[in-house]
Structure 1
Amino acid sequence: MMTGVERVVQKVSSTRSFARVAPHFVPAIDRAVHRLTRGRVLLSASLLPGAVLVSTGAKSGLTRRTPLACIPADPADSAWLLVGSNFGRPGHPAWTANLLAHPDVEINWRGRDIPVRARLLSGAEREGAWATALAFWPPYARYQERVEREIRLFRLDRR
């Protein structure tokens, strides 16, 4: 059952204003707190399950640390879904290009570093995962309505 706070957060996060402002401060705050607590705390995870994606930049080749909402795809913590919503903004988030170029990555999940392989979902598999994502966080539907691109959806499996 959804709490009043969750309803408010979902409503606010579905707005265009949030989409304009959030990308500039939410990831930066999450990265700073995660680093300062040596991976024990991810602030956004108090609202949604979260992980820090450690990937290689598609163009730069540099290590990138990106805090993201992360949907557990199975109860054994061996697979996760990542939604490239970019807060409902027009372009794909950079981390999705990183996964396409370098699919062997790592996530920090609940304070543990886990090597995973990312796979872009398509077809029926994507449809099923999208339904899971919408059940998990309904604002994803609003994000998709606002953009012409198909939001990228990745499955991460343990390596």
Structure 2
Amino acid sequence: MDMAAFNERVIEQFRANRGRGRIGDRLDASRLLLLTHTGARTGTRRTTPVMFLRLKGRLCVIASNNGAPRHPDWYRNLVAHPEVTVELGDETFPATAVVPTGRERDELFAEAVRQHPFFAEHQDRTERTIPVVELRRTDA
């Protein structure tokens, strides 16, 4: 599957429907956000559709990469350039990506697993610790 082409279709449909309804036959747009970030090496702005969760009142994304051995590219970009733009539903706002560590990360990840048990399966597939990323709105 060509992930770039797939993501472009998801982004197009998400924006056309203002983050509501279904995208194709598998994705619920209300569980996705569009994350625009800056490439760590290239400096190029990129937009990636990502599933989001509300964890302890925080807007978060999980860098599980489906349990792959490497972090997703978007995560490495956020670490290098934490200032991002979030499109959530029909709202667009600036945010700062913050990566909790230690006990704070563990508690947030445990809540993510409670909400979506497949994250535990993703963690079981890899030796890396799957990061949780909080997207802190900066225009409020």
TM-score tier (shorter): 0.7 to 0.9
Q: Does residue 60 of structure 1 match 2:39?
A: no
More strand by share: 2
Match of 1:127 in 2: 106
Match of 1:107 in 2: 86
Do residues 70 (structure 1) and 52 (structure 2) align? yes
Between the two proteins, what is the percent identity of the paired residues?
A: 28
SS of the residue aligned with 1:34? helix
Name the SS for the 2:62 alignment partner. Answer: strand
User: Size of the alignment, in residue pairs?
Assistant: 135
More helix by share: 1
User: In the superposition, relative to structure 1, how do residues 57 and 130 fare at CA in structure 2: closer, same or farther (>3 Å)?
Assistant: same
- The alignment yields a C-alpha RMSD, in angstroms, of 2.4
* Aligned match of 2:62: 83
The 8 Å contact of residues 45 and 69 in structure 1, kept in 2 or not, is answered as no
Q: Tell me, in whole angstroms, the C-alpha distance in 1 between the residues paired with 2:4 and 2:69.
A: 15
Q: List runs of 5+ in structure 1 lacking aligned partners.
A: 1-20
Partner of 1:140: 119
TM value normalised by structure 1: 0.74
- Judge conservation of contact 1:48–1:69 (CA < 8 Å) in 2: no
In 2, Cα distance between the equivalents of 1:26 and 1:151? 24
Q: CA deviation at 1:31?
A: 2.0
Task: Find 1:33's aligned residue among 13, 24, 30.
Answer: 13
CA contact (8 A) 2:100 2:134 kept: yes
The C-alpha deviation readout for 1:103-139, integer Å capped at 9, x for no partner, is 1111101121011111111111101100111112110
Q: 1:90 to 1:48 in 2, by over 3 A?
A: farther
Please report how far the alpha carbon of residue 28 of structure 1 lies from its aligned counterpart in structure 2 after TM superposition: 4.1
- Could you tell me which runs of 5 or more consecutive residues in structure 2 were left unpaired when the two chains were aligned: none
* Pairwise CA distance, 1:22: 9.3
User: 1:116·1:158 contact (CA, 8 Å) conserved in 2?
Assistant: yes
**1:70 partner SS:** strand
CA distance in 1, matches of 2:126, 2:82: 25
Question: 2:55·2:112 contact (CA, 8 Å) conserved in 1?
Answer: no
TM-aligned CA deviation for residue 32 of structure 1: 3.2
